[in-house]
Structure 1
Amino acid sequence: MHRLPAWIGSHLAALRAVLVLTLVTGVIYPLVVTGVAQALFNDKANGSPVEKDGKVIGSAVIGQLFTDAEGEPIPKYFQSRPSAAGDGYDMLSAAASNLGPEDVVDTLPVPGQKDDEGNPDEGRQSLLTQVCARSKAAGELDGVRGGRPYCTPDGVGAVLKVFPAVGAPKRAVSVNQACPATPFTTSYQGVPVECGKPGEDYAAGRTVPVRGDAVAQVPADAVTASGSGLDPHISPAYARIQAPRVARERGLPVQRVEELIESHTTGRALGFMGEPAVNVLELNLALDDPDATKAD
């Protein structure tokens, strides 16, 4: 019997292995897993869709914004937490901002300057200023104090650049408050504080975040995005501060809105993992249901 050369036999064996593994891992295994998922976890396997009037309007596991065409919050709805995924809850851009606690200095926009695409220079907000601005906006929307430690009254990071970096201060600049803004503090160790000049380089200065005496009433999840940028939940604390506004806009008793919050609050997983949370989409849908908003 004629035998094939050894190198041909090796190639044929490798080809058979590729074909078998492709069939098993690329066809059979995915079909089995998909079939089991559809049989046992049909709703979750299909993305946990949420329907209204026969149409899918969202997912129970992916957040969404409740804003108008200009990006302003719609007052009659509970608001979701911020999202760093694209323009907000973009599933193709799921990610965090990747900004850390040391990101406290803004890049101020320079009037008249344009970026590489010809758009007006918008600068860059630090994580601290993003948190301060969100807290101020949430406070104004829901009628609570939006101030936070390390935030100025006008909603930016309370951060100084002090010169020289070592030794007695000779100059201090509130780098996140663009001129002609009035600095949040008049002096630092006897040195007058200046407003920030857009385009000026303050990198050589010593960074000094200044802690104020504001007590935050706006919860942390109202001012920070989740790690994925897609979290559909908010804390019960954030839901409660929104309840009076939603009740007023809908002409409902606050107590009834708070009851809906309670009924849409999930506890800790297995009784000890994580924190209680409120699904914003499901809560807003309940508010839109005339039967659900009727008093018991």
Structure 2
Amino acid sequence: MNQPITLQDNIGLRAPLLFAIAILLLFGLLYSLLGASLGRVLFPAQAQGSLIERDGTVVGSALVAQPFADPRYFQPRPSAANYDPMAAAGSNLARSNPALHERIAKTRLAIAERDGIATAQVPDDLVTQSGAGLDPHVSPMGARVQAARVARARGLDQAVVERLVDQAIEPKQLGVLGQPRVNVLRLNLALDAMAR
């Protein structure tokens, strides 16, 4: 037989409910506001998206890849999200999926033709998509194989473009994390700065 809820039972529920509300406000709201505020103070550029400006105009982010169609520019890794940060995603194709192998083979052939190199010289990072599909970096080799095409399209000596690639190489983070890499947008902006 069901017993009616008494005043004593209501008092027993009040403490857990107040505790839940306090925890929600403390960790759900105040902790988030504190973290966001500290981020803006300690890392203002990163908190704003690591935006890169040229002549007062935002041209992109150092954290998000963007496509470059002109042969005068270095190309980033392929993007499963079509370079849309709002649709960030990998291809979700397993390594054993024939569709993945077919796409990689087609991409490798297209890059080899575009850059005038053998398919075996195309680095893997230029034919594979990153986890989010928006990786702004390529490997140093991924940039070097594009140097001849970029130099030809810009009418520059290839050695000049290769030196620029070498100068753009970012080392491992903290000397141990990740691999050396080249930010494609920054490299392309450095190329444009040379033309000024």
Aligned with 2:176 (options 251, 254, 272): 272
Partner SS, residue 97 of structure 2: coil
CA distance in 2, matches of 1:11, 1:140: 71
What is the aligned partner in structure 2 of residue 209 from structure 1?
none
Partner SS, residue 121 of structure 2: coil
> What are structure 2's unaligned runs of at least 5 residues?
1-5
Aligned with 2:86 (options 87, 92, 95): 92
Number of aligned positions between the proteins = 191
How big is the shift at 1:101? Answer: 2.6
| CA shift in 2, pair 1:273/1:31, >3 Å | closer
What is the aligned partner in structure 2 of residue 289 from structure 1?
193
What is the aligned partner in structure 2 of residue 82 from structure 1?
78
CA distance in 1, matches of 2:89, 2:29: 31
1:45 aligns with 2:51: no
What is the aligned partner in structure 1 of residue 102 from structure 2?
129
Q: How does 1:181-200 map to 2 (within 5 A)?
A: none
CA distance in 1, matches of 2:97, 2:52: 37
Query: What's the TM-score, normalizing by structure 2?
Result: 0.90
Partner SS, residue 289 of structure 1: helix
What is the aligned partner in structure 1 of residue 3 from structure 2?
none
The Cα offsets for residues 43-65 of structure 1, whole Å up to 9 and x where unpaired, read as 11221111122122211111111
What is the aligned partner in structure 2 of residue 140 from structure 1?
113
What is the aligned partner in structure 1 of residue 10 from structure 2?
8
How big is the shift at 1:127? Answer: 0.7
Please report the RMSD computed on the Cα atoms of aligned residues, expressed in angstroms: 1.7
The Cα offsets for residues 66-94 of structure 1, whole Å up to 9 and x where unpaired, read as 12xxxxxx101100111112xx1222222
Structure 2 residue identity aligned to 1:239: A
CA distance in 2, matches of 1:272, 1:23: 39
CA distance in 2, matches of 1:22, 1:217: 55
What is the aligned partner in structure 2 of residue 231 from structure 1?
135
CA distance in 1, matches of 2:164, 2:11: 70
Moved more, 268-277 or 136-145: 268-277
Structure 2 residue identity aligned to 1:5: L
Q: What percentage of residue pairs aligned between the two structures are identical?
A: 45
How big is the shift at 1:10? Answer: 2.7
> What are structure 1's unaligned runs of at least 5 residues?
68-73, 105-125, 147-215
Which structure has greater helix proportion?
2
How big is the shift at 1:237? Answer: 0.8
The Cα offsets for residues 238-266 of structure 1, whole Å up to 9 and x where unpaired, read as 11111111111112221111121111111
Structure 2 residue identity aligned to 1:100: A
Partner SS, residue 52 of structure 2: strand
CA distance in 2, matches of 1:27, 1:127: 43
Query: What's the TM-score, normalizing by structure 1?
Result: 0.61
Structure 2 residue identity aligned to 1:238: G
Q: How does 1:145-160 map to 2 (within 5 A)?
A: 145-146=118-119
CA distance in 1, matches of 2:31, 2:123: 45
